[in-house]
């Protein structure tokens, strides 16, 4: 039997999300830094603000 995953029947490993989305100003996140490390499911990602004022997320 194939189970169809819908918002009412999400995949078991899908985190539940609220309808509200958080908004964070980048200055509040980075402060005076140009990069931060974000951990997600045991993996490390680097969020960096480039000289061209663009965001770069790398693993």
In this structure, is residue 42 part of a structural domain?
A: yes
**pTM summary value:** 0.62
In this structure, is residue 15 part of a structural domain?
A: no
In this structure, is residue 17 part of a structural domain?
A: no
CATH of the domain at 53: 2.10.70.10
**Per-residue model confidence as pLDDT tens digits over 3-53:** 565 666 666 666 666 678 899 999 999 999 999 999 999 999 999 999 999
Domain around 34: 26-58
pLDDT value, residue 59: 96
In this structure, is residue 1 part of a structural domain?
A: no
In this structure, is residue 9 part of a structural domain?
A: no
Strands 35-40 and 43-49: antiparallel
In this structure, is residue 41 part of a structural domain?
A: yes
Cα separations (Å) of 26 from 4, 17, 29, 48, 59? 37, 22, 5, 11, 19
């Amino acid at each position: 039997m194939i189970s169809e995953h819908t918002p009412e029947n999400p995949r078991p490993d899908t985190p539940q999300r609220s309808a509200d989305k958080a908004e964070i100003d980048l200055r509040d996140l980075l402060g005076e830094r140009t990069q931060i490390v974000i951990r997600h499911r045991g993996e490390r990602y680097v969020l960096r603000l480039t000289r061209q004022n663009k965001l770069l997320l790398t693993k």
